[in-house]
Amino acid sequence: MRATETLKKLFGPTQSLDGIDSSASVTIRYARPDDHRAVMDLAYLDSSYVPYGVVLVAEVDGRLWAALSLEDGHAVADPFRPSGELAFLLTERARQIARIAPRERNRRRTLTPSAA
């Protein structure tokens, strides 16, 4: 709920998930190669270009509603569904990944034996 409140403060009211079955499952995950067509369809619906590189997707009951490139932060979402908050969640998850990634790289470097 906190992310929604922050989003409302920054951008005003967001789309609600009214009309969505309360039992619908939402999954945030990395895009797989078989998601490419669905991501292309999202970009087309959003009148935008296809996110490239490593891409996160928001999936609701097995259908992609939003996607975000970790390379440049470009997001696309289905404008005919209440996908605005999902795009925001993808952005927040990308920030978490960006904070974790440098620490993981540093840890791997310290664990590798030095050449002596």
Asked if the model's pLDDT at residue 56 lies above 90, the reply is yes
Question: What global pTM score does this model have?
Answer: 0.70
Question: What's the pLDDT at 24?
Answer: 78
The domain segmentation of the chain, as residue ranges, is 15-111
What does the mean pLDDT of the chain come to? 81
Question: What's the pLDDT at 19?
Answer: 47
Residue of 99 and 8 predicted with greater confidence: 99
CATH number of 15-111: 3.40.630.30
Residue of 18 and 50 predicted with greater confidence: 50
- Return the percentage of the chain with pLDDT > 90, whole number: 58
Q: Which residues contact 55 (CB under 8 A, 6 or more apart)?
A: 30, 31, 35, 39, 67, 68, 69, 70
Cα diameter, the chain: 64
